[in-house]
Chain A
Amino acid sequence: MTESDEALVIKSRAGDRAAFEELVRRTARLVFARLFLETGNAHRAEDLTQETFLAAWRSIRQVEDPKLFRGWLLAIAQSVHLGALRQAGRQKRRGRQAPDEAMAALADPSPTPAQAAETSESRQRLLAALKELPEHYRQPLMLRYLAGADYQSIERQLALSNGALRGLLSRGMAMLRETMSETRPS
């Protein structure tokens, strides 16, 4: 994987599917994490990730500056998420329950109810805390906790150097702890 992201973007723009797949490998978890943060649901996040990349592939030609690919991708993710919300709202208005939510309610039956409740509670808290953080510091943490990425993986997903990530991670952790400690008593 010696090729830079920028080169891959340019190739994708020319219609190179392999290059785009490489881009997917390099950014999928970031998109997922982001969508997970928005939805709080892994399945939906994964579905929306899929949709996001599909939309991205269809409109990859719109990317003018390859350096801004990630930002553009996340914006697409955002709009896909909003579109999904809108659709769900429409369906709800028509009286049909969104199947995703029904599925989510049934998800992960293995832990005991108490555990599940606790997990769910801490999850909400954590997500809320993450949402509080600035984007910069949030991204590495999102990747680590929501997308299960290891250190190299985070580096790659964010296209960051080692030193930069270390600082971001450390500061992010600190801020997260701070936020968590603030919210915990309530």
Chain B
Amino acid sequence: MNQNEHAWFIEQIAAYLAGGQDQPERERFQTHLAECGECAAELESMRQEDKTMQAAFAGSVPGAEFEQRIIAGLRQRWTPRLVIHPMVRRAAAGVAAVLVLGAIGYTTTTMLSEGGLPTIGSGGSSGDGVAVGPFRVSAWPFGRNRTVCANDLRIMGRTPDSDAIDKESQANGPVQSELAVYSDGKADEGDGDTWALGDRKITLKGATVSSGIKESRSVSTIQPPSAQLAYGLVRPDAPADPRSFKPAELAAGAILPLEKADHQLGRFVAGDVQEGLRVPTSGTDGKASGDGTLLLGGVALGDARKRESGVSMNGNAVATHYFFSTNGSASKDPAALGRIASGTEIAAANTKDLANTPAVGVRGSPDGNAPAQGQQPANATPAATTDSTAGRKIIRNGTMEFEVDSFDSAFAQVSKIVKEEGGFVASTESQKLPNGKMTGMVTLRVAPEHLDTLILKLRALGDLKNQKIAAQDITKQYTDLESQLRASRAMEQRLLEIIKTGKGEIKDLVAAEKELGVWREKIEQVEGEIRFYNSQISLSTLQIALSEKDVKGAAFTSETELRSVGIEAEDVEKAYASAQELVSEFKGHIVTAVLKKLEAGQFAASIVCDVSPENAGPMSDRLKQLGNVARLEAERKLTTSDGAEPPVTSKVQRKDTRFVISLYNLANIAPRETTNLNLACGNVEQAYRSILLRVAKSGGRVVGSNLNQLKADQTTATLSFQVKSDQADALLAELRKPANAGDAEVTRLTTTENPDTANVTIAKRGFAVQIVSLASVTPRETVNLQLAVPSVADAYKSLTELLNGQTIQARILSSRLSEQDRQNVTGSLDFEVRRADLPAIDKALTSAGDVFSRNASRATDAENTIDSKVRLTMGLINAQNLAPRETFSISLEAANVEKALGDISLAAAGLKGRSAESHLTRQANGQTTGRVTIDVPLVSSAEILKTIREQGTVRTVETGRNAQVPDGSLARARLEIVVSNGEGIVSGDKGIWASVRNALSTSVAGLLWSLQLIVIGLFLIVPWAVAIWGGTKLVRRMRSAKNRRSVVPVPGGKD
């Protein structure tokens, strides 16, 4: 009994109780149990425990068939093997709802934006295909496309006016019309056969005809309320009787459409194709017929016979007219047909050609009465014109105008011709003109029949200038006169009878006698008039005007000469007397002589005299000795007796020469030439005085002088004087530089010539001099300078010293030095210097600093400015404030950023540069970036660049140049250096985070869009949902209320 056996036993108890021991174990267990009481007790205790426990769950322990039950249960529910998780299902439902909402939102948005969402009340249909929502209503040509079938013939056509017809049909009852169609038999098999009539076309579709005929059938009947008119033209060889001809015999294309017989019909006809082909239908009653020439639209289509047929339809008579050729000459001129078809021409035919062509234009009338008036025989011909004029009283008169070589021979010829024609010369009248030419008038009388031949014969007389033949119809006056005569005769007879019978009182008889006298006078008067008319009618009057050639030539020509002389004389009175003496010396005579003494010693004399032509030349020469002949005009003029063109051959008579002599002195005569001089002088007063002296010396006349001295700077003077012309140029040369006047400059020099050549003299010249102070005139040239200097204050000081000094004559207009702070010092100088001093100024500027801008401007005004001085406007700025001339952007990669930055700054300092800004960034990932901006003198830029290159790898260098900054010793270069160590070359907009950001922003954009759609959908759905929900609630409540009501009557029932 060792301890091991006990332990084993204890451990086996549970297995034993559970029945999990195999045979050897069970035997060993039993053996030990039998041996050991302690263990037996333990076993018993355990067994008790086990039993209790089993008993506790005995009722609920599943039986042996438990597994089978589970499996059976499973088998029942196998089928939906992959049932979606409820959560998934819910999620899917949510997604679906969202999608539906989104889709609704999207559709709504689209439709709203396209304007296609149907809005209440807009209707949206205007008849011809307006889009309404997703539907499109096409405008169907209901009833408009009148496809008419005649057996298998079809006419395709549209009737735009069918609406009107429809309206009329509503107003007037059923509309009927006959329609008949013919084919000419030449139709291609299966092809459309088109007839062109005017601008319309009739297309016959499917006209597969063998005999060329398709029987006509009335299909759609349209009848205008009143009569209609139809024209047809049949083929030439057709039988005469319309009732017997067959449609095949119709001339091809010669069927004319209905015309505008009346308004209604006209509207119908217009634009329609199916109208107007009218054929005789069997059973029509012919009412009238006639022969004649068919003229349609003024075009003869050939002899035609007209046949009328009246057809009564619903009480409305319709007259139909057919015209068919009887002599085979029917015109097929399409133009004529077109004109006929167009309606207007036919209307003209109705009115115009009716008289001669009864076959046309007969119009049916509603009562069926065929208009027989239109059928007069067509015997009227144009030859009837003569017959019609037979009874007329016509006076024929004529006038002719000839230019002949000789009047007398022409007259003899006329007399001969008129005799030949049985006429006579009624009167003749001739006249001899002063130039010896003959002109005259011959009046001929001749029988009217001979007038034309007479005129023809007279044509040979000479050059026919004018011819007029007039016929005056006096039939009416003549008949009036005749009837007047008859009435007067009757009256005379009556009065005679009264007198003869002698009845009545004496007084009455005397009155009758008196009356008789009045009437007799009247009778004679009328008879005279009739006789006059008769003579006028029986003999035509022809008036012939004859004139010899060159009848207007002048008779004689005279020549006169006019000499106009202007003489300047010192002593006018003496010259006046001498001139008069001269006239008498040359045997002329003085017409007028005037001597005037005017103000300011001015004399003026004028003499008008006539001198014989041979003395005119010597006279002119002598006049020149009187003084200075300022002007001499000679005009020679030919004059004819009657103002006509002087003939070459005519004799010229020389008449006296007329002199018009003007004598005057020069005292008050303006000089021809005046010189205007504007002068700018240093010393105005001195200049003024010296000019006055000089004028007096040269014997000139000072007209006016004025010196106006306000201040030294503003002194002005004006001088006006006249000097003799020969001294003028020398004087002008001296005027340019007056003595003792300092610097002088001519700002303006103009010379004007007086256009009035008559009243001026060239013997003297006028001067108008205006003198102003040199200081008060603005310089022509202004130079704007910008000067960059190392020290503004020093430069300002040295420059002002220079300007105020003795070496340079300068006039400082303004100067300013402003010192805001040490860095911001600016100065400006505005001064005028003589041009000669400019080099000295330039030298001073160059030594002071750099001129970085220089704008020189010259005023366009050359008149009020002077060139001898220059104005300088100068701005002084600190060179440090200048923009850098060159800019370098350098990105550098260096291992040690800080060291590189330090080295660069050090090098810059060594080169007199300075670093403007500098910063260093050190990022968490070890990347270090340093930026430094340094300014160095431009000359040192190469050196500093070299230093930079030594620091590491230069990645990029960008160079910029500011062209506005001068390239001088003060020019600077700016270097913007970015130094970084190796990392971080990848730009910030790439990498994971950037992608994530991108993705997020895209997603959010999508999300927002979706959200928008969902909200739209939601608001479309929500009202419906609420309405449906409310409706259901209501229905349910009503139903339950009904139920309650049915329950209520039960006694003791509860609600």
When each residue 52-95 of chain A gets 1 if its CB lies under 8 Å from chain B and 0 otherwise, what string results?
A: 01100110000000000000000000000000000000000000
A46 touching B67 by the CB < 8 A rule?
Answer: no
Interface set, chain B 1-49, CB cutoff 8 A to A: 10-15, 18-20, 46, 49
Whether a CB of chain A sits under 8 angstroms from the CB of B477 is: no
Whether a CB of chain B sits under 8 angstroms from the CB of A173 is: yes
On chain A, the number of residues with a Cβ less than 8 Å from chain B's Cβ atoms is 43
Whether a CB of chain A sits under 8 angstroms from the CB of B78 is: yes
Interface set, chain B 51-90, CB cutoff 8 A to A: 52-57, 59-63, 66-67, 69-71, 73-74, 77-78, 81-83
Please tell me which one of the listed residues B18, B20, B57 contacts residue A126 in the complex, with CB atoms under 8 A apart.
B57
Docked complex Cα distance between A49 and B11 (Å) = 33
A25 touching B67 by the CB < 8 A rule?
Answer: yes
B10 touching A29 by the CB < 8 A rule?
Answer: no
Interface residues of B (CB under 8 A from A): 10-15, 18-20, 46, 49-50, 52-57, 59-63, 66-67, 69-71, 73-74, 77-78, 81-83
CB closest residue in chain B, given A119: B56
Whether a CB of chain B sits under 8 angstroms from the CB of A158 is: no
Whether a CB of chain B sits under 8 angstroms from the CB of A8 is: no
A-B contact number at CB 8 A: 110
CB closest residue in chain B, given A56: B74
21 contacts between A and B (CB under 8 A): A24-B74, A28-B66, A28-B67, A28-B70, A29-B62, A32-B66, A53-B74, A58-B81, A108-B60, A119-B59, A122-B52, A126-B56, A144-B18, A147-B62, A148-B57, A150-B19, A155-B20, A165-B15, A165-B20, A166-B11, A166-B20
Query: With a CB–CB cut-off of 8 A, which chain A residues contact B69?
Result: 46
A169 touching B20 by the CB < 8 A rule?
Answer: yes
Docked complex Cα distance between A49 and B66 (Å) = 11
Interface set, chain A 131-157, CB cutoff 8 A to B: 144-148, 150-152, 154-155
Query: With a CB–CB cut-off of 8 A, which chain B residues contact A108?
Result: 59-60
B947 nearest CB across to chain A (Å) = 67
* List of 10 A-B pairs having minimum Cβ-Cβ separation, nearest first: A151-B20, A148-B61, A42-B60, A169-B14, A170-B14, A151-B18, A173-B14, A122-B56, A50-B73, A25-B67
Which of B13, B56, B82 has most A Cβ within 10 Å? B56
Whether a CB of chain B sits under 8 angstroms from the CB of A38 is: no
Query: With a CB–CB cut-off of 8 A, which chain B residues contact A53?
Result: 70, 74
What 11 additional pairs, Cβ within 8 angstroms, besides A108-B59, A126-B57? A42-B59, A42-B62, A49-B70, A57-B81, A119-B56, A122-B55, A126-B56, A145-B53, A148-B63, A170-B13, A170-B14
B80 nearest CB across to chain A (Å) = 9
Query: With a CB–CB cut-off of 8 A, which chain B residues contact A167?
Result: 11
Interface residues of A (CB under 8 A from B): 17, 21, 24-25, 28-29, 32, 36, 41-42, 46, 49-50, 53-54, 57-58, 108, 111, 119, 122-123, 126, 144-148, 150-152, 154-155, 162, 165-167, 169-170, 172-173, 177, 180
Query: With a CB–CB cut-off of 8 A, which chain B residues contact A42?
Result: 59-62
B697 nearest CB across to chain A (Å) = 136
Which of A17, A50, A122 has most B Cβ within 10 Å? A50
Query: With a CB–CB cut-off of 8 A, which chain A residues contact B13?
Result: 170, 173
Query: With a CB–CB cut-off of 8 A, which chain B residues contact A154?
Result: 18, 20
CB closest residue in chain B, given A123: B56
> Given A28-B70, A29-B66, A147-B61, are A169 and B15 also a contact pair (CB < 8 Å)?
yes
Docked complex Cα distance between A152 and B83 (Å) = 36
Please tell me which one of the listed residues A25, A50, A145, A173 contacts residue B57 in the complex, with CB atoms under 8 A apart.
A145
Docked complex Cα distance between A152 and B70 (Å) = 20
CB closest residue in chain B, given A148: B61
B74 touching A21 by the CB < 8 A rule?
Answer: yes
Docked complex Cα distance between A154 and B15 (Å) = 11
Query: With a CB–CB cut-off of 8 A, which chain B residues contact A152?
Result: 20
Query: With a CB–CB cut-off of 8 A, which chain B residues contact A180?
Result: 49
Docked complex Cα distance between A50 and B68 (Å) = 11
Docked complex Cα distance between A102 and B56 (Å) = 21
A87 nearest CB across to chain B (Å) = 11
B15 touching A170 by the CB < 8 A rule?
Answer: yes
